[in-house]
């Protein structure tokens, strides 16, 4: 089979590669010696940073605004690559949305109680991964909380407090243990009726990773991908910067900075109670559920987790549910994670922050997570 | 029935026949009406007091500077309606030329069937009247030349065409946005005017069919293209800043096979010098999309109709050279609706939203102010001609099934 040539060449080659080719050509005598000398002895007229252009585009998908910014020589090539990224994200949404009845996920939800449903490989792997996160976090992360979200009115709803009986009924079909996977047949089955998968806590991070993969495949070395602020991957760094500057918002005020982070070849995700909640009878109910109790988690404002990829950081931002004490156990067993907890500090509008780190913490040399309060 | 139709037609056209002959005759300039002094009242007469004429009269009745002194119609129910609507005891005429004879009339409004516009317009200008003529300005291609000639000879008189979107605050605001680049480079205007009815008016006596339902008959009317598309083509011309260079179209009498001669299902695509396209459709058997115009550029979309305008942005990419200071924000997911809601368009000064008035009231306020105070007209000769041409060529494209190109000699 003939290999297809790469679709896009323009702008693909980084400066270093071009320089290398010139030298090779020179060694074969194709270049005049003067030309070769000029290439090696004189500094380039313009620095690499000056030649790079910045391209940024946004796209609504998965109920969020995805934004990609990238640096490169050819903005047209960047635009085309980012368009491929957005197509990929849309395809993930078409497959994994629980808001779309035609998605593969919705079909699984309809049919996996009555039969073992065969699953597309990438979705199967993501579900496998999800179950692993559930086990590792003692069920803090759980892709079966969908019915709970509905009971509390957070799915296309206004918010309501379910009765104790209702919660009891709903909890009977919540819990990752109800998902039975067969890796050989690549099938999924639920062991009780009414189980529903909801990948809302991981799919955006997963989409960010797929986006970064496409950017990398196309030779892009400096880019940032953000899924509506919640999951961000920083690929490389902007020209002449040590990392991408990211401001973590104050839990009480979206326009105020709580922390500033410089991020490079690393990911961060945030779960917070401030964008989806309702107030009733003087109490505020957030949309983040404790899958064990069926109740919204209290005493936590937001949790930002730093991990090597966005699938990890998105899922692990549910350390929110475990709180600082509960998270220590996880961090003792899993390397290279940092978690920044924003906790209520008694009075209104005040918070305290707690930064926890894996017991084993050795980032790769090309990664950077610098947190400045 | 045949005989009845013929009788009616003769009746109906007897005033027009003389007037049409007049087009061919050399014009004798009538006395120029002196412009009324500021603060004085503009005396006007209106020719044609059917539905549209009465809409104009109702708006004019709210303008203190305008005084209706004469009405003209040949159909008695409309005669009564016109007098009542004017509310100022105007003198009624059956022959519009008698109305034009009146020296105390400053301005004349023409709201008659399309085939009568040109004769009346030329006669009125020639005797020195300021003229407001309903859209479409003229009916046949060859009428453009005499209109240009007479208008040039009477350039001190006001000539306004009743494309009232030009006077509408919302449309003006939208066009300011277009000019300021809010939607980027306009490449496409889509417009539809859809109804689910037969587009007929009730006829108390069959002998009045052609008189009342003149829009159904090609002898008097350009059909949906002239009566509905004309407004929307004007919006496209305005937004694109040019008139079309070619048009393709299709259409038929496909649903209301009731003896009508004008299409009930028509579509056309106009092309502009910069490659921009305007796509128009009109159907009379489905009203779901109602009527509006959608102005599409590479940066956004304006969706507009009388009384409602929405602005949508494109998720536009930003290109910048060098490295600006990066600063990104992180937090819990900010939800984004899959479908943008659109930002309402309105005119504002400071923090105050200015209410938009009825478009007819605005266009006639503009007309009266032009007559009395010399204010520039909101929609004049050139806009009216460009619009009428597009209507004529659009209908020709539909009739012939051929692409029609604008004549090279025109500006």
Pairing of strands A244-250, B328-330: parallel
Of the candidates B323, B328, B336, which has its C-beta nearest A224's C-beta? B328
The average confidence (pLDDT) of chain A is: 86
3-state secondary structure of B1: coil
Query: Given this model, what pLDDT does residue A155 score?
Result: 76
Complex-level ipTM: 0.73
Residue A75 near chain B (CB below 8 Å): yes
CATH number at residue B232: 3.30.360.10
Q: What torsion do the CA atoms of A280, A282, A286, A290 make, to the nearest 10 degrees?
A: -100
For chain B, the average pLDDT equals 89
Domain of residue B207: give its range: 167-315+337-357+389-405
Contact yes or no for A315/A201 (Cβ under 8 A) = yes
Q: Cβ of B328 and A304 within 8 Å?
A: no
More confident residue, A347 or A101: A101
Query: In terms of domains, do B40 and B76 share one?
Result: yes
Contact (CB<8Å) A304/B320 = no
Contact A308, A212 (CB under 8 A): no
Residue B320 in any domain: the answer is no
DSSP of A65-88, one letter per residue? EEEEEEEES-HHHHHHHHHHHHHH
Exposure b/e, A22-58, CB count within 10 A at least 16 = b: beeebeeeebeeeebeeeeeeeeeeeeeebbbbbbbb
B383 phi-psi bin (left φ>0, alpha ψ -120 to 50, beta other)? alpha
Containing domain of residue A28, as a range? 15-45
CA A34 centroid distance within chain: 50
Mean of pLDDT values over A69-76: 93
Length of chain B: 411
Q: Name the residue of chain A whose CA is nearest to B316's CA.
A: A57
Same domain, B191 and B214: yes
Angstrom distance (rounded) from CA A272 to CA A256: 15
**What is the model's pLDDT at position B346?**
84
Q: Do B337 and A55 touch (CB under 8 A)?
A: no
Which residues in B lie closer than 8 A to residue A65 (C-beta atoms)? 315, 334, 336
* CA distance linking residue B303 with residue A134, whole number of Å: 48
| Distance of residue B65 Cα from the nearest chain A Cα, in angstroms | 53
Taking CB atoms and an 8 Å cutoff, what residues of chain A touch B318? 54-57
Residue-wise pLDDT tens digits, A142-156: 999 999 988 888 877
Domain presence at residue B332: no
Closest in B316, B330, B335 to A63, CB measured: B335
| pLDDT for position B26 | 33
Which of A197, A229, A251 marks a domain boundary?
Answer: A197
Beta bridge partner(s), residue B303: B294, B310
The residue-averaged pLDDT of A300-312 equals: 97
Q: Would you say residue B112 lies in a domain?
A: yes
Angle at A42 between CA A40 and CA A48, to 5 degrees: 90
The structural domain count of chain B equals: 2
- Model confidence at B347, pLDDT cuts 50, 70, 90, reads confident
Q: What sign does the CA torsion over A322, A326, A329, A335 have?
A: positive
Q: What is the CATH number of the domain that holds A371?
A: 3.10.520.10
- The arithmetic mean of pLDDT across residues B93-119, rounded, is 98
Query: Each residue of A229-253: pLDDT tens digit?
Result: 999 999 999 999 999 999 999 999 9
| B228 and B201 share one domain | yes
Could you tell me if residue B326 is inside a domain? no
Cis previous bond, B47, omega within 30: no
Both B348 and B371 in one domain: the answer is no
Instruction: Work out the pLDDT band at B350, boundaries 50, 70, 90.
Output: confident
Percent of chain B with pLDDT over 70: 87
Residue A281 confidence (pLDDT): 76
The answer to whether the CB of B171 falls within 8 A of the CB of B262 is no
pTM of the model: 0.74
Dist CA B178 CA B98 (whole Å): 45
Domain count, chain A: 3
Q: Give per-residue pLDDT as tens, A256-274.
A: 999 999 999 999 999 998 8
Question: CB B323 to CB A58 under 8 A?
Answer: no
């Amino acid at each position: 089979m003939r290999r297809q040539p790469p679709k896009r060449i323009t702008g693909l080659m980084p400066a270093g590669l071009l320089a290398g080719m010139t030298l090779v050509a020179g060694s074969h005598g194709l270049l005049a010696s003067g030309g070769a000398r000029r290439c090696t002895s004189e500094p380039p007229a313009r620095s690499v940073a000056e030649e790079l252009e910045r391209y940024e585009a946004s796209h609504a998908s998965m109920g969020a605004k995805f934004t990609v910014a990238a640096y490169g020589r050819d903005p047209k090539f960047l635009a085309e690559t980012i368009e491929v990224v957005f197509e990929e994200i849309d395809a993930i949404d078409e497959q994994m949305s629980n808001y779309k009845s035609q998605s593969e996920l919705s079909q699984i939800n309809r049919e996996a109680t009555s039969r073992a449903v065969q699953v597309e490989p990438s979705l199967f792997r993501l579900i496998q991964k999800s179950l692993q996160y559930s086990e590792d976090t003692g069920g803090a992360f759980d892709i079966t909380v969908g019915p709970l979200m509905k009971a509390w009115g957070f799915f296309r709803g206004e918010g309501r407090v379910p009765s104790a009986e209702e919660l009891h009924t709903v909890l009977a079909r919540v819990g990752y243990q109800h998902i039975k996977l067969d890796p050989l047949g690549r099938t999924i089955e639920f062991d009780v009726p009414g189980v529903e998968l909801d990948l809302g806590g991981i799919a955006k991070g997963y989409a960010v990773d797929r986006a970064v993969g496409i950017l990398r495949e196309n030779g892009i070395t400096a880019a940032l991908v953000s899924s509506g602020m919640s999951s961000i991957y920083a690929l490389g760094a902007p020209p002449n910067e040590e990392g991408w500057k990211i401001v973590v918002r104050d839990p009480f005020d979206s326009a105020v900075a709580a922390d500033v982070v410089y991020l490079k070849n690393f990911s961060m995700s945030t779960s917070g109670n401030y964008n989806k909640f309702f107030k009733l009878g003087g109490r505020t109910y957030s949309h983040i559920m404790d899958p064990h109790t069926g109740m919204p988690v209290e005493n936590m404002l937001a949790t930002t987790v730093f991990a090597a990829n966005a699938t990890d950081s998105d899922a692990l931002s549910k350390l929110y549910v475990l709180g600082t004490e509960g998270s220590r156990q996880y961090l003792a067993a899993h390397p290279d994670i940092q978690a920044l907890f924003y906790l209520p500090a008694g009075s209104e509008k005040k918070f305290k922050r707690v930064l926890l780190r894996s017991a084993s913490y050795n980032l790769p040399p090309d990664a950077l997570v610098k947190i400045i309060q | 029935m045949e005989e009845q139709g013929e009788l009616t037609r003769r009746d109906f056209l007897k005033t027009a026949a003389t007037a049409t002959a007049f087009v061919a005759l050399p014009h004798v300039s009538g006395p120029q009406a002196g412009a009324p002094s500021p603060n004085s009242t503009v005396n006007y007469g209106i020719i044609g007091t059917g539905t549209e004429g009465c809409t104009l009269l109702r708006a004019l009745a709210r303008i203190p500077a305008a005084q209706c002194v004469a009405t003209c119609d040949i159909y008695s129910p409309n005669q009564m309606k016109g007098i009542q609507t004017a509310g100022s005891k105007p003198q009624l005429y059956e022959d519009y030329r008698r109305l034009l004879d009146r020296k105390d009339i400053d301005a004349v409004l023409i709201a008659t069937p399309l085939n009568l516009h040109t004769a009346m317009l030329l006669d009125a200008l020639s005797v020195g009247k300021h003229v407001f003529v309903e859209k479409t300005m003229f009916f046949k291609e060859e009428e453009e030349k005499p209109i240009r000639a007479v208008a040039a000879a009477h350039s001190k008189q006001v000539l306004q065409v009743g494309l009232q979107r030009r006077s509408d605050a919302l449309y003006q605001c939208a066009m300011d946005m277009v000019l300021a680049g809010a939607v980027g480079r306009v490449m496409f205007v889509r417009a539809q005017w859809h109804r689910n009815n037969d587009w007929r008016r009730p006829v108390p006596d069959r002998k009045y069919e052609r008189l009342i339902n003149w829009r159904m008959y090609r002898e008097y009317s350009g059909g949906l293209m002239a009566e509905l598309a004309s407004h929307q083509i004007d919006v496209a011309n305005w937004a694109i800043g040019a008139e079309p260079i070619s048009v393709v179209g299709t259409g038929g009498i496909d649903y209301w096979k009731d003896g009508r001669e004008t299409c009930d299902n028509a579509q056309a695509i106009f092309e502009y010098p910069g490659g921009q396209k305007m796509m128009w459709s009109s159907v009379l058997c489905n009203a779901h999309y109602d009527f509006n115009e959608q102005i599409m550029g590479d940066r956004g979309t304006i969706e507009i109709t009388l009384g409602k305008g929405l602005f949508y942005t494109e998720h536009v990419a930003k290109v910048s050279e060098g490295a600006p200071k990066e600063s990104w924000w992180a937090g819990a997911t900010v939800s984004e609706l899959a479908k943008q809601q659109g930002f309402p368009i309105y005119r504002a000064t400071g923090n105050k939203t200015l209410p938009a008035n009825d478009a007819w009231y605005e266009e006639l306020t503009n007309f009266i102010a032009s007559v009395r105070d010399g204010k520039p007209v909101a929609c004049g000769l050139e806009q009216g001609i460009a619009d009428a041409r597009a209507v004529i060529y659009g209908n020709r494209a539909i009739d012939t099934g051929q692409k029609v190109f604008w004549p090279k000699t025109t500006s």
